[in-house]
């Protein structure tokens, strides 16, 4: 484990040590999003038909029966009061994401999920289903063959094998957009950039980079928002197209992320540590039970009994010296010092928390 940890962390530390400000630059489009330019969630209720006996039981799923009766009535067939008990259809929920600026006629993918006791949706066909937004308006209509990507089989003895989730699937390009969201970007006088990782320094650098090319068009409101106003000679869409490709040096806080469950540690390049001495050792206590049988002498009227006997040993790993880590060291020096102690990832978690408690770790520790 020690060799593996060293092999994984050493190249990472070397990369951080060699990285300069130029390598830390990212495009604005990769670190920020345009306020209002987002996808919208759609949802609908429908029926999947054509299942090979793996659908809902109409006796156990009353809403499936009601949906079947309502659908057939609209098609001119009345089955109310009949003893229909088909298992070739299933009630499902349909979900989809409506992309920004989607126009009528565009196609989007949809996901379907069973609502009742259907065993599998494999081979089924989704009937026409309207997809509504949060405002209750219909924005798309879905229909098509369901693909589950799963395999299932069962025998007469009751044994079965299933891989994947056969009660959920997707329909590629299964919905047609019927209505636009009505968001007109070009008519806006100003838009706001929202940073995915809020930071005051990064926000100021974004505004400075934009103003260097287009003076007085960007203002950093806070650590999360940068307001843009398009110049007179450019439309808003053209202005955003040029702005989002500008490179900016991203600043990140000093942070150590610890996942104690999986023993994972992630440290940012700005992590620094003050002068501190570290010693680490392992103490092992072993308790071994060796019960003994006590046999009474012949004709002594005694009883055979089991007498417990415990052997307790204490082992302490010696030979590990105290390591001195100099102040204001970089990430690579910190990792090298911890690796020199030969500690495991879980021991390193305890060491980092102890260093933080001593006030020597100049970073925020976040435990997942």
Which pLDDT score is estimated for 36?
83
Residues in the chain predicted with pLDDT less than 50, given as ranges, are 1-23, 283, 285, 319
Domains in the chain: boundaries: 2-18+254-281+320-367, 24-37+193-249, 40-177, 284-316
Read off the pLDDT of residues 126-150 as tens digits, 9 standing for 90 and up. 999 999 999 999 999 999 999 987 7
With 0-12 / 13-18 / 19 or more C-beta atoms within 10 angstroms meaning exposed / middle / buried, residue 361 is: buried
**229 forms bridges with which residues in the sheet?**
190
Give me the pLDDT at residue 13, please.
Answer: 41
CA 8 and chain centroid, separation: 23
Predicted pLDDT at 19: 41
Q: In angstroms, what CA-CA distances link 195 with 15, 28, 115, 257, 283?
A: 25, 9, 38, 21, 48
Q: What is the pLDDT of residue 9?
A: 41
Q: How far is CA 226 from CA 185, 204, 209, 239, 255, in A?
A: 17, 8, 12, 14, 24
pTM tops 0.85: no
User: What pLDDT score was predicted for residue 183?
Assistant: 81
Q: In sequence order, what are the beta bridge partners of 278? A: 323
């Amino acid at each position: 484990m020690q060799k593996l940890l060293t092999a994984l962390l050493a190249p990472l530390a070397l990369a951080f040590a060699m990285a300069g400000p130029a390598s830390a630059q990212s495009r604005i489009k990769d670190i920020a999003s345009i306020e209002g330019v987002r996808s919208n969630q759609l949802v609908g209720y429908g029926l999947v038909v054509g299942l090979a006996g793996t659908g809902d039981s109409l006796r156990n799923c009353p809403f499936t029966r009601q949906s079947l009766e309502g659908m057939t009535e609209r098609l001119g067939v009345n089955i109310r009061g009949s003893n229909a008990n088909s298992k070739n259809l299933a009630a499902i929920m349909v979900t989809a994401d409506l992309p920004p600026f989607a126009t009528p006629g565009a196609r989007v993918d949809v996901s379907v999920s069973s609502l009742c006791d259907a065993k599998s949706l494999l081979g089924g066909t989704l009937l026409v289903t309207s997809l509504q937004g949060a405002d209750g308006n219909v924005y798309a209509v879905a229909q098509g063959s369901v693909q589950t990507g799963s395999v299932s089989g069962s025998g007469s003895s009751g044994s079965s094998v299933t891989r994947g989730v056969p009660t959920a699937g997707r329909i590629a390009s299964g919905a047609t957009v019927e209505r636009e969201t009505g968001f007109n970007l070009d008519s806006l006088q100003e838009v706001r950039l929202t940073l995915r990782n809020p930071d005051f320094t990064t926000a100021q650098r974004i505004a400075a980079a934009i103003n260097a090319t287009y003076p007085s068009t960007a203002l950093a409101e806070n650590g999360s928002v940068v307001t843009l106003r398009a110049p007179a000679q450019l439309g808003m869409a053209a202005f955003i197209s040029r702005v989002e490709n500008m490179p900016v040096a991203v600043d990140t806080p000093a942070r150590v992320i610890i996942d104690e469950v999986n023993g994972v540690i992630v440290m940012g390049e700005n992590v620094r540590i003050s002068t501190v001495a570290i010693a680490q050792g392992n103490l092992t206590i072993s308790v071994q039970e060796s019960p003994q049988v006590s046999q009474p002498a012949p004709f002594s009227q005694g009883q055979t009994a089991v007498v417990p006997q415990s052997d307790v040993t204490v082992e302490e790993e010696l030979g590990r010296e105290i390591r001195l880590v100099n102040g204001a060291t970089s990430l690579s020096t910190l990792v090298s010092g911890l690796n020199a102690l030969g500690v495991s990832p879980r021991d390193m978690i305890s060491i980092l928390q102890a260093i933080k408690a001593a006030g020597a770790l100049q970073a925020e520790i976040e435990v997942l």
